């Protein structure tokens, strides 16, 4: 077997890849006392890294991870582990592999800088190659990986037993007769094994998609080709795309695999399949993959991707706090992060969940990480929501750290130096970091006015709905605030909420309040109008109840429907709520800022999400979803590797109360490779602007809760019509390499 498909990927004689294929002895670091040698090697497929504690011991436990599992590579001392345990080792020898999802970082030390660079550069090249692969190439890759695993004796041939094993690995439960039938069909040499071209034939039979064949044959000509005319016809009639023949010709050039067909401007069935698996036939409108909202409106007219207790990686009582949690949230497009600040040792403020056993991290380390990662996913402003419990002395240190580390990124004055009458826009604040917290005076107060150093002690800690927590909080009514910290608060001044009337009469636009979820629910029980009105003038932040000690989340949709901008979720907790949050901010190019619909921005409020009346927002639609099939679903549970999944699909709509509905297909026994449902559902959607559609694939379990396999959530307004593939995401929101759903969407 040729290493790495080297030639076709332009990697022939690549020094970095050759070094990785040969393997290296690297030190794995877990703590100041745990540093152990491990042998790491890139396997021939150039997609998998294998490592072992001892090179020669066959019995030693081996582990693998794939290139697809890697989030990023960090050279030097750029992880918490490296900074704690490896600062005395030269940075040039150190590197960290950061994985997607909840998997822990891998901190490694090479014998010299050259070896470290081979791994950093080599893995980055393979990551780059993988990110450019289309769905068809991923399917081929997926097939090759399993083929290698099934070829037990590594003779590049497959016996009938190996074929059965292969099918089981690929999540297909076949009866012996079917496996044998496939095998005999391909064993042209009749020697009891299949190899070379015979394996290719076997691959074609296994990956045949009869549902796509049916669609293709309805439009192809008598020679079984799609001409430019026929393809244009399909795009207009089925995909409801208003396109011309030039566009269809471009699709043929881009997705047709056969060179002669491309030359003749015709599309084969393989090319058609390639198109249907491409971004051009994705369910998510690719035009919404870039920033297309107007970004020049005042800040309070946007929904802002926001995180709660950002420092936590698990629960709220004993879980670890971590700088990595901030990096992860910022990489997911989060634009508002929370910092719970307390006095630390040696005059250095720390961040942790007060009055609990959660671990502590240094405030300055978090600010350093914010500086480095704030604008990697989006160029739009980041808000640091400060929960300040520090002494005056350590507040001064906080202000110094923010100014010295963030420099020009930190917004320390109004845009033009004058007293503002409204918020600046996300466009004006690009690349800027804003501080949300208490302020001693108003922006319009004279500079030299004596303002004292006390403010009311009313913030989240005083708003918790747990009585025990309330007892813990000092109820003196006032806290001391350092002028240095106060001066950094410009457009997000935290104030106590004394009712909607008081806010309208006595608050200025840059004063904002935080509401625990239960308080929000209470205030919007009958009507959401006063809240919507408040949000047309000011910002408001909603956060989860203190009773959610397991870091669970509320559904953010109700809060968005009331115009709340900063709806904070526990980013570390996967589930339906985070899926909806990710789906919302997938729109507008993942900028972390989405412009609110006009009726949530107008000063004269007519809309009420609790009582839907006639208005511009009412735009009744009927959504028809046909769930046709799924492809290459992974096993849902690592503990059940021997079993094959029994998949079912749940389609959910979220939005205003009357639009919320969930429907599900039957489960299909023992087929995770190519299950077929052809199930049709209908949903009535009255306010499409505020609606989301979530597709979830589960593994049916008769005796307990169904296991999660994958999901994809998107705004109703980003849906594409016709035959579409849905590329499924993992629980933590990362892409599943090969798994997809095939659906047909129609909106009346």
592-607 pLDDT, tens per residue?
999 999 999 999 999 9
Q: Which residues are annotated as a binding site for substrate?
A: 28-55, 436, 438, 514, 541
d(CA 705, CA 712): 20
Give the pLDDT of residue 7: 40
Across the chain, how many H-helices and E-strands are there?
23, 30
Candidates 1.10.238.10, 3.55.50.30, 1.10.10.10, 1.10.645.10; correct CATH number of 136-207? Answer: 1.10.238.10
Kindly report the pTM of this predicted structure: 0.86
Enumerate residues 6+ apart whose C-beta is below 8 A from 153: none
Q: Could you tell me the CA-to-CA distances from 590 to 347, 594, 643 in Å, in that order?
A: 38, 9, 37
CATH architecture classification, 299-600 = Alpha-Beta Barrel (3.20)
Mean pLDDT of the chain: 89
Of 77, 118, 353, 401, the catalytic one is 353
pLDDT at 95 over 90: yes
At 368, the pLDDT band (50, 70, 90 cuts) reads: very high
At 24, the pLDDT band (50, 70, 90 cuts) reads: very high
Q: What are the residue boundaries of the structural domains of the chain, listed by start?
A: 3-132, 136-207, 210-281, 299-600, 621-747
d(CA 193, CA 161): 10
d(CA 105, CA 70): 10
441-476 pLDDT, tens per residue?
999 887 666 666 787 776 554 444 433 344 444 455
Catalytic site includes residue 727? no
Enumerate residues 6+ apart whose C-beta is below 8 A from 177: none
Sign for the CA dihedral angle at 126, 128, 129, 130 comes to positive
Catalytic site includes residue 353? yes
Enumerate residues 6+ apart whose C-beta is below 8 A from 160: 179, 180, 183, 192
26-55 pLDDT, tens per residue?
999 998 889 999 999 998 878 889 887 654
The answer regarding whether domain 3-132 maps to CATH 3.40.50.2000 reads no
Give the pLDDT of residue 58: 47
Pairing of strands 24-29, 35-42: antiparallel
d(CA 460, CA 546): 9
Q: Could you tell me the CA-to-CA distances from 663 to 267, 436, 577 in Å, in that order?
A: 36, 41, 18
345-365 pLDDT, tens per residue?
999 999 999 888 888 999 999
d(CA 367, CA 351): 11
How much of the chain, in percent, has pLDDT values that exceed 90? 69
Joined together, the tokens standing for residue 481 give: 């605030």
Q: Which residues are annotated as a binding site?
A: 28-55, 309, 338, 340, 387, 436, 438, 514, 541, 646, 670, 699-701
Enumerate residues 6+ apart whose C-beta is below 8 A from 22: 41
530-572 pLDDT, tens per residue?
999 999 999 999 999 988 999 999 999 999 999 999 999 999 9
Give the pLDDT of residue 3: 45
Are 500 and 524 a contacting pair, CB within 8 Å?
no
pLDDT at 371 over 60: yes
Same topology, domains 136-207 and 210-281? Answer is: yes
d(CA 656, CA 716): 12
- Tell me the CATH number for domain 621-747: 2.60.40.150
Of 77, 118, 288, 308, the catalytic one is 308
In this structure, the number of other CB atoms found within 10 A of the CB of residue 669 comes to 12
Which residue is associated with the tokens 């300040």? Answer: 388
Q: Could you tell me the CA-to-CA distances from 105 to 30, 80, 89 in Å, in that order?
A: 10, 9, 18
- Tell me the CATH number for domain 210-281: 1.10.238.10
């Amino acid at each position: 077997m040729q290493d790495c498909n080297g030639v076709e990927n332009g990697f022939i004689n690549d020094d970095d890849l050759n070094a990785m294929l040969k393997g290296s002895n690297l030190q794995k670091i877990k703590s100041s006392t745990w540093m152990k040698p491990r042998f790491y090697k890139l396997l021939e497929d150039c997609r998998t890294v294998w490592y072992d504690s001892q090179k020669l011991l066959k019995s030693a436990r081996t582990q693998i991870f794939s290139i697809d599992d890697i989030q990023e590579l960090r050279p030097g001392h750029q992880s918490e582990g490296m900074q704690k345990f490896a600062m005395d080792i030269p940075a040039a020898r150190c590197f960290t592999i950061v994985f997607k999802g909840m998997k822990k970082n891998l901190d490694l030390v090479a014998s010299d800088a050259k070896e470290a660079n081979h791994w950093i550069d080599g893995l980055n090249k393979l990551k780059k190659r993988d990110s450019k692969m289309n769905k068809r190439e991923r399917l081929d890759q997926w097939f090759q990986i399993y083929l290698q695993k099934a070829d037990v004796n590594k003779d590049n041939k497959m016996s009938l037993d190996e074929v059965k094993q292969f099918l089981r690995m690929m999540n297909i439960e076949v009866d012996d007769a079917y496996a044998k039938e496939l095998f005999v069909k391909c064993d042209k040499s009749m020697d009891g094994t299949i190899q070379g071209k015979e394996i290719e034939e076997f691959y074609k039979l296994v990956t045949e998609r009869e549902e796509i064949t049916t669609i293709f044959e309805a439009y192809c000509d008598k020679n079984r080709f799609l001409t430019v005319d026929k393809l244009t016809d399909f795009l207009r009639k089925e995909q409801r795309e208003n396109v011309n023949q030039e566009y269809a010709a471009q699709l043929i050039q881009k997705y047709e695999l056969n060179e002669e067909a491309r030359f003749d401007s015709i599309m084969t069935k393989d090319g058609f399949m390639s198109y249907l698996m491409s971004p051009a036939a994705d369910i998510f409108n690719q035009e919404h993959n870039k920033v297309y909202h107007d970004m020049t409106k005042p800040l309070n007219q946007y929904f802002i991707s926001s995180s709660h207790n950002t420092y936590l990686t698990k629960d709220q009582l004993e879980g670890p706090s971590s700088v990595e949690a901030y990096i992860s949230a910022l990489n997911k497009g989060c634009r508002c992060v929370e910092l719970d600040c307390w006095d630390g040792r040696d005059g250095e403020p720390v961040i942790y969940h007060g009055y609990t056993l959660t671990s502590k991290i240094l405030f300055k380390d978090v600010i350093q990480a914010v500086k480095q990662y704030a604008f990697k996913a989006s160029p739009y402003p980041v808000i640091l929501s400060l929960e300040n419990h520090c002494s005056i002395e350590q507040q001064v240190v906080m202000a110094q750290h923010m100014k010295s580390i963030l420099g020009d990124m930190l917004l320390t004055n109004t845009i033009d130096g004058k007293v503002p009458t409204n918020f600046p826009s996300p466009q004006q604040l690009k690349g800027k970091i804003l501080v949300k917290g208490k302020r001693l005076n108003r922006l319009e107060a004279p500079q030299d006015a004596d303002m004292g150093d006390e403010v009311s002690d009313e913030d989240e800690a005083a708003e918790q709905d747990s009585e025990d927590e309330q007892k813990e909080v000092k109820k003196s009514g006032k806290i001391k605030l350092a002028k240095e910290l106060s001066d950094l608060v410009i457009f997000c001044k935290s104030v106590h909420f004394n009712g909607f009337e008081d806010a309208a009469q006595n608050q200025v636009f840059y004063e904002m309040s935080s509401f625990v979820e239960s308080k929000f629910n209470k205030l919007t029980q009958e009507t959401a109008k006063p809240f919507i009105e408040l949000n047309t003038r000011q910002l408001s932040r909603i956060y989860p109840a203190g009773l959610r000690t397991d870091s669970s989340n509320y559904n953010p949709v109700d809060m968005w429907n009331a115009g709340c901008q900063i709806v904070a979720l526990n980013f570390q907790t996967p589930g339906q709520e985070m899926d909806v949050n990710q789906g919302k901010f997938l729109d507008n190019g993942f900028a972390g800022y989405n412009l609110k619909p006009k009726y949530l921005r107008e000063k004269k409020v007519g809309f009420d999400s609790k009582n839907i009346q006639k208005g511009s927002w009412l735009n009744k639609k009927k959504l028809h979803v046909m769930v046709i099939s799924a492809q290459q679903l992974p096993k849902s549970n690592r503990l059940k590797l021997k079993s094959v999944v029994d998949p079912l699909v749940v389609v959910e709509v979220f939005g205003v109360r009357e639009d919320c509905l969930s429907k599900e297909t039957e489960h299909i026994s023992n087929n995770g490779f190519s299950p077929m449902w052809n199930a049709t559902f209908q949903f009535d959607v009255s306010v499409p602007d505020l609606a989301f559609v979530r597709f979830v694939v589960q593994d049916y379990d008769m005796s307990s809760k169904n296991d999660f396999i994958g999901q994809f959530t998107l705004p109703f307004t980003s849906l594409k019509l016709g035959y579409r593939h849905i590329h499924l995401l993992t629980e933590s929101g990362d892409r599943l390499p090969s798994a997809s759903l095939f659906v047909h969407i129609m909106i009346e």
